[in-house]
């Protein structure tokens, strides 16, 4: 029907990479929890939603720049993450996987419903930056470019932290083998709390960044939980660079499927890709940790 030109493909690739960088950051959090604790955190999306609300309230009450609100939303939800891990999640870390799924699923319903009670279901938005930077024939959405830059910076920071620092190395050690890490004198409990907090902070950053792009409401988080699952399975569960690759890939696939096929099928195409990856490389593209 429509003739697809290289310019159109270029524009769509740009949009896909911009979206993918956000998916990667949010999914890295989910992957971190799974890698360290073998817990699938269904409440990851709802935590992202809370991050978006922090940005909204700060913007609408004191007019705080939404990007500066990252400085509030990330520590705040880091603390909430630590608290959740300490009070609830730690009870299911060694339990069968179904228990942890049930717990985080319940947690997710509770967070969403509390948000509906506390914030109401009214749609909110942060009207901060609209329009785009234009470069030749291509348009770069301002809010999405900035979100991408922050996502890249935050993700890089998280990586360096995991790769270079002692604590980061301890986190990776625990995710490789908890028993050996414990024998080496690593305090596994603290590492679990730290990982859950860090993951929640990554989700919060995602929330603060999407707050400027989409309508904010208590149920907005669910799709990010699903997309993050998809990303970490694509990239390889427990493999942190894999989450990055998976995120970018998902962003690209969604947009290219929308362009060449229709928007209606973009999710289907993403899931078909997942099935193919699982058939060809069951451990994900970069290979997950063998369990």
Partner 1 sequence: MKSRKNAIFTCAMAGAVLLVGVSAGLAHAQPIKVGASLSLTGTYAKPGQYQREGYELCAEEASARGGVLGKKVEFVVYDDQSTPATGVKLYERLITEDKVDAVMGPYSSPISEAVANVTEKYKKVMVAPLAATTSIFKRPPGKERRYIFMVVSPAEVYLEGLIDIAAKRGLKTVAILNEDTLFAKASAAGTADLAKKRGMQVVFQEAYPKGNTDFSAMLVKVKAANPDVVAASTYFDDAVAIVRQMKELNVNPKMLGVTVGGDLPEFYDLLKQNAEYIYGASQWETALPYPGQRDFVESYKRKFGREPAYHAAAGYGGCLVYLEAVKRAGSLESDKVRAELLRLEWKTAFGEYKVDQDGFQTAHKMVLFQWQDGKKVTVWPDDLAAGAKVRYPTPPWTQR
Residues 120, 118: Cα–Cα separation, whole Å = 6
Six-digit token pair at 248? 């970018």
What phi and psi values does residue 231 have, to the nearest 5 degrees? -60, -45
Q: How many residues bind partner 1 (CB under 8 A)?
A: 41
Instruction: State how beta strands 132-135 and 138-141 pair.
Output: antiparallel
CB of 126 vs partner 1, minimal distance in Å: 9
For partner 1, the closer CB: 11 or 99:
11
CB of 1 vs partner 1, minimal distance in Å: 7
118, 135, 179, 264: residue in contact with partner 1 (rule CB under 8 A): 264
Residues 91-116 as b/e (b if ≥16 CB within 10 A, e otherwise) read ebbeeeeeebeebbeebbeebbeebe
Choose the binding region for partner 1 from 45-53, 121-129, 163-171, 281-289 (rule: CB under 8 A). Answer: 121-129
| Binding status of residue 254 toward partner 1 by CB under 8 A | yes
Residues 220, 126: Cα–Cα separation, whole Å = 14
For partner 1, the closer CB: 35 or 66:
66
| Binding status of residue 215 toward partner 1 by CB under 8 A | yes
96, 118, 185, 262: residue in contact with partner 1 (rule CB under 8 A): 262
65, 68, 71, 130: residue in contact with partner 1 (rule CB under 8 A): 130
CA–CA distance from 247 to each of 41, 72, 208, 235, 258 (Å)? 17, 25, 18, 8, 17
Choose the binding region for partner 1 from 95-103, 150-158, 213-221, 273-281 (rule: CB under 8 A). Answer: 213-221
Residues 171, 185: Cα–Cα separation, whole Å = 13
Six-digit token pair at 34? 């799974």
Per CB under 8 A, which of residues 14..53 are in contact with partner 1?
15, 19
Contact of 33 with 41, CB cutoff 8 Å: yes
| Binding status of residue 8 toward partner 1 by CB under 8 A | yes
CB of 110 vs partner 1, minimal distance in Å: 17
Q: What is the DSSP string of 186-200?
A: --HHHHHHHHHHHHH
| Binding status of residue 249 toward partner 1 by CB under 8 A | no
CB of 226 vs partner 1, minimal distance in Å: 10
50, 77, 158, 213: residue in contact with partner 1 (rule CB under 8 A): 213
Residues 19, 101: Cα–Cα separation, whole Å = 27
Q: Which of 41, 286, 36 is nearest to 176 (CA)?
A: 36
Q: How many residues does the chain have?
A: 291
Residues 31, 242: Cα–Cα separation, whole Å = 9
| Binding status of residue 3 toward partner 1 by CB under 8 A | yes
First to last CA, the chain: 48
| Binding status of residue 135 toward partner 1 by CB under 8 A | no
Per CB under 8 A, which of residues 147..176 are in contact with partner 1?
none
| Binding status of residue 139 toward partner 1 by CB under 8 A | yes
| Binding status of residue 258 toward partner 1 by CB under 8 A | yes
Q: Which of 159, 275, 161, 145 is nearest to 212 (CA)?
A: 145
12, 39, 111, 146: residue in contact with partner 1 (rule CB under 8 A): 12
Interface contacts to partner 1, rule CB under 8 A: 1-5, 8, 11-12, 15, 19, 121-123, 125, 127, 130-132, 134, 139, 141-142, 144, 210, 213-215, 217, 222-223, 254-259, 262-264, 266-267
């Amino acid at each position: 029907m429509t003739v697809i030109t290289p310019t159109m493909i270029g524009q769509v690739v740009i949009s896909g990479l911009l979206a993918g960088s956000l998916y990667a950051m949010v999914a890295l959090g989910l992957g971190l929890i799974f890698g360290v604790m073998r817990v699938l955190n269904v409440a990851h999306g709802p935590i992202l939603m809370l991050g978006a609300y922090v940005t909204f309230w700060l913007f609408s009450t004191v007019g705080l720049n939404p990007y500066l609100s990252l400085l509030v939303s990330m520590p705040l939800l880091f603390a909430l993450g630590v608290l959740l891990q300490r009070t609830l999640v730690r009870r299911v870390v060694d339990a069968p996987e179904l228990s942890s799924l049930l717990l985080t699923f319940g947690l997710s319903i509770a967070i969403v419903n509390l948000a509906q009670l506390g914030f109401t279901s009214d749609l909110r938005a942060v009207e901060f930056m609209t329009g785009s930077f234009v470069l030749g024939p291509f348009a770069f959405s301002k809010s999405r470019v900035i979100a991408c830059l922050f996502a890249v910076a935050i993700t890089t920071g998280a990586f360096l932290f995991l790769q270079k620092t002692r604590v980061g190395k301890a986190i990776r050690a625990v995710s490789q083998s908890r028993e050996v890490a414990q024998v080496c004198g690593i305090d596994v409990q603290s590492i679990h709390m730290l990982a859950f907090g860090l993951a929640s902070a990554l989700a919060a950053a995602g929330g603060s960044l999407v707050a400027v792009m989409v309508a904010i409401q208590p149920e907005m988080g669910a799709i990010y939980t699903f997309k993050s699952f998809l990303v970490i399975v694509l990239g390889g569960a427990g493999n942190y660079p894999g989450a990055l690759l998976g995120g970018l890939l998902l962003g690209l696939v969604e947009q290219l499927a929308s362009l060449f096929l229709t928007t209606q099928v973009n999710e289907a195409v993403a899931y078909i890709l997942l099935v193919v990856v699982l058939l060809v490389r069951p451990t994900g593209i970069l290979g997950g940790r063998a369990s």
